[in-house]
Structure 1
Amino acid sequence: MLECLVAVLCLAAAPAGNWPAFRGTGDSVSQATTLPLKWSETDGIAWRSGLTGYGQSSPVVWHNRVFVTTVDGPQKERAVLACVDLASGEALWQDELKSAQTAEVTDYISRAAPTPAVDGKRVYAFFETGNLAAWTHDGERLWERNLIEDYGPFTGNHGVGSSIALTDRAVIVLVDHSGPSYLLAIDKASGETVWKVDRPDTVAWSSPIATDDGRIVVSANGRCEAFDAESGKQLWKRAGIEGNTVPSATVSGDLVIVGSKEVGSNLAIRIPADPQVPETTIAWKSSDATATFSSPLVYNGHVYLVNRTGVAFCLNEQTGETVWKQRIGGSCWASPLGGCGRVYFFEKSGTTTVMSADGTANVLAENVLPTEDRVYGVAAVEGRFVIRLGSELICIEGTD
């Protein structure tokens, strides 16, 4: 009964066997009817698979294949897309692109941070090196773009980290950096530009969200905006937001939830049903919640956020009122994930705190997976998690 209710409440969630882009379909909610609840360093691990190079992107999954990006070389000379078998962890293929823009590898500059995306025909990858390309699921490269050559070098102290989104027609790319910034739609079949929206010089690492009704929603550096997916026309804009440079927006019905590191800027924007109507209102603002690295999760009528010190917040989705706040084990760079009536907090240290998604702050499990590396992202498919470390993928089966 609970599983059926979860499925009804999450109509826009990622199909149970696929996790096609950043945060699944942009909301970090899984339709899987079973997900691991408990695991450890010795129990519940299906496989571990090493990767060439290093990366901070999340894995994406289409049926039996996992796709993940890395960069390789002391100057990030190579941008790599790898494909791994979901059942066994066996490496199936990888392709390397010559980086359009190199930079010294440090902990302070992004390394393959943008998450790739996949659909039934192709897999697409964007890198902070300026490379953008598409492949078949079997690894044949179909087209490649050099955004550095087309629109100028990426500048800034920490690199580019925005993941791509997909519409039926296009790959959506956001480049917000210290130089001329832009939002770009690239035809998925040909690699040609469909439209380009110029943006002011503005540094952010949040990602665009493509909605089912044809909007592209961007929360970045002081404002939240929506654009028409076909033309790039701006539909609405809310300014006066502070600290929303990393968390991406989450769309839930007529609400756009904005996450921010600043108190008072974690809020909900109520949007009109008609995409062509520009008026929006602020539905609520949280008085105490903050979100530093991860994006808001909306699940079963609640909004979940976590800040850099490892304090998690649960808010009422409609009012923004704090239902509970509680310190979990540590900071999370991966966004909270909802599925099977639970909320999963994947801490960067390797510990995962699992809580009931009923507003009670009930801790169901604390799974310790010690690692000297960081947990950057996760994909959730039926019965499994694929966790991404810098140079390794770990597939969790665990117990339900």
Structure 2
Amino acid sequence: MKINVSLISFPAGKIILSTVLFLGVPSFGEDQPQWGERHSRNMVSQETGLPIRFNLETGEGILWSVALGGGSYGSPIVAQGRVFIGTNNSEPLDERHHGDRGVLLCLDARDGSLVWQLVVPRIGGDDFLDWPGVGICSEPTVEGDRIYTVTTRSEVVCLDLHGLENGNDGPYLDEGRHSVPMDSPAIATVPPDADILWRFDLRSEIGQYPHDSPHMSILLDGECLYLNTGNGVDNTHKKIGNPEAPSCIALDKKTGRLLAEENEGIGPRTFHESWSSPSLGEVNGRRLLFFGGPDGICYAFKTLVTPFSEQVISFDCVWRFDCDPEAPKENIHDYVGNTRESPSEIMGMPVFYKNRVYVVAGGDIWWGKRRSWLKCIDATLKGDITRTGELWSYDIPRQSCATPAILNGLVFVTDDAGCVHCVDAETGEAYWVHKVGRSIWSSALGADHCIYVGARNGDFAILAATKQKQVLFSTRFPDAIHGTPTAANGVLYVSTLSRLYAIKTP
């Protein structure tokens, strides 16, 4: 069996020296087992001692780097000595898997070598159901030896951290059929294949209509998994593929059984797709699930309690806040391509912080108006709080996919014009805006009193997380950056479309 993992090509002496220096030093940091801070989704890390400079040409500060093909849009997740990153199959690592595939790589955090990979064929037919060349975009969530993620075929899967090295555990045992196209014969499953423990097909189970490529970061709370569904428009962009499908659901983490779904009528109001993953917080002794709707409305639902009902239930809505009440609400798809007037949507995750919800809403980055807002919402209220719940609003002159990073009493968000905005978390007062690169689809990471952020033209910047703008470092990667940087165990991870970098202070 041919396995091919390509390390970055530095002069031989430098890569050996890096291995001696880095792998021999114990790490005292923490894992990053989910996207954003646990439950709150605040895009920050408690890591310290992170690099504030490195050199891509000489290899200074580069612990290791591996090729990803060319379709990596998600962010790295780090847990249990492993690094997880989605990509495509343009540079196959296993001779049994050829052609366009969505791939999730599990790499050894010490050197980036391959441990196992999940390989998923395309849906086929309509490209808009599973966009060609795009890797698995959904960031995994890791708990112990279980990994929860969503494939390019809109399947929620529970994976074994160890892959097939400890056997095919089941109850799902059909990996050999799952990893090849339907018109190809099943193959034998052997390491380095992934071990799927259970599988929940969003299309067949809830009638989800996929669009482009799903992006979900599953929220794990106790025995429950919460996630957005990726339900979206058809290939005309003029109607929802299935307006009856829910936009947010809950599953049993042990079995994948459907537990609950939203029943707020979001489907017909969806302008493009359900992009935003949920967050969670405790408000006055009450645990709430916060969901950024594809209709531009932020919802707060009661979380589920055990024992779970035997029947699928509807989420109990505590409050709803329309981030753009003056936007068009009827015949919304007549506004597709209108950059001045359109419905709003929420693409990034809501962040819960000190009884407030911080969320970015506005025009779709492909088809909507060139405007968005950072909203600060009072999470202690009930009912329709559109008129009463806004504590402050900050105007962003372009679209934004950002999940806020709240650090040192400041909120940092990015926009599609390639800028980072710094705003006071308490009052919404604007402090500064910095142009990083051509366009930013990712979020900024706040860690070690710094802000780390990359742009779609490869520009990368480290800024001080202060009221006064200070650019500490800037460089350019050789490819586009779509994922948010990740900090774990003293290492900064930056993924581009084609390569993953592990960077550490020498």
Q: TM-score range by the shorter chain?
A: 0.7 to 0.9
CA radius of gyration, larger in? 2
Report the Cα distance in structure 2 between the residues aligned to 1:184 and 1:76, rounded to whole angstroms. Answer: 32
Cα distance, 1:131 vs structure 2 = 1.4
Alignment deviations for residues 210-265 of structure 1 (CA, whole Å, 9 cap, x no partner): 32433221123321001122163212101252533322222211111121346563
Q: Amino acid of the residue matched to residue 79 of structure 2?
A: W
Give the SS at the match of 1:265. strand
Give the SS at the match of 2:262. strand
2:355 pairs with 1:355: no
Cα distance, 1:97 vs structure 2 = 4.1
Among 140, 148, 151, the alignment partner of 1:116 is 140
Q: Which moved more, 1:339-348 or 1:381-390?
A: 381-390
Q: 1:144 is matched with which residue?
A: 199
Report the Cα distance in structure 2 between the residues aligned to 1:380 and 1:167, rounded to whole angstroms. Answer: 22
Change (3 A) 1:197 1:99: farther
Give the SS at the match of 1:211. strand
Contact 2:445 2:486 in 1 (8 A): no
Q: 1:62 is matched with which residue?
A: 79
Q: 2:298 is matched with which residue?
A: 224
Q: 2:51 is matched with which residue?
A: 36
Q: Amino acid of the residue matched to residue 209 of structure 1?
A: P
Q: 1:127 is matched with which residue?
A: 151
Q: Which moved more, 1:75-84 or 1:62-71?
A: 75-84
Give the SS at the match of 1:361. coil
Q: Which moved more, 1:91-100 or 1:342-351?
A: 91-100
Give the SS at the match of 2:75. coil
Cα distance, 1:196 vs structure 2 = 1.9
Q: Amino acid of the residue matched to residue 217 of structure 1?
A: F
Report the Cα distance in structure 1 between the residues aligned to 2:458 and 2:395, rounded to whole angstroms. Answer: 30
Root-mean-square deviation (CA), in Å? 2.9
Report the Cα distance in structure 2 between the residues aligned to 1:385 and 1:170, rounded to whole angstroms. Answer: 30
Alignment deviations for residues 131-178 of structure 1 (CA, whole Å, 9 cap, x no partner): 11111210232111222121225244x443333222121222212312
Change (3 A) 1:205 1:37: farther
Contact 1:69 1:80 in 2 (8 A): yes
Q: Percent identity?
A: 22
Name structure 2 gaps, 5 residues minimum. 1-27, 91-96, 164-194, 233-239, 306-314, 325-342, 364-370
| TM-score (norm. length: structure 1) | 0.85
Among 347, 350, 358, the alignment partner of 1:246 is 347
Q: 2:366 is matched with which residue?
A: none
Q: Which moved more, 1:238-247 or 1:105-114?
A: 105-114
Change (3 A) 1:129 1:319: same
Cα distance, 1:268 vs structure 2 = 0.6
Q: Amino acid of the residue matched to residue 81 of structure 2?
A: N
Q: Amino acid of the residue matched to residue 236 of structure 1?
A: W
Q: 2:6 is matched with which residue?
A: none
Cα distance, 1:123 vs structure 2 = 0.5
Report the Cα distance in structure 1 between the residues aligned to 2:220 and 2:487, rounded to whole angstroms. Answer: 19
Q: Amino acid of the residue matched to residue 300 of structure 2?
A: A
Report the Cα distance in structure 1 between the residues aligned to 2:393 and 2:437, rounded to whole angstroms. Answer: 26
Q: Amino acid of the residue matched to residue 348 of structure 2?
A: P
Cα distance, 1:301 vs structure 2 = 0.7
2:45 pairs with 1:20: no
Change (3 A) 1:103 1:85: farther
2:429 pairs with 1:321: yes
Q: 1:9 is matched with which residue?
A: none
Contact 2:68 2:88 in 1 (8 A): no
Q: Which moved more, 1:258-267 or 1:168-177?
A: 258-267
Alignment deviations for residues 47-104 of structure 1 (CA, whole Å, 9 cap, x no partner): 1122467332212111311112334489986443321011110101113345556653
Q: Which moved more, 1:343-352 or 1:262-271?
A: 262-271
Cα distance, 1:290 vs structure 2 = 5.1
Cα distance, 1:377 vs structure 2 = 3.1
Q: 1:80 is matched with which residue?
A: 103
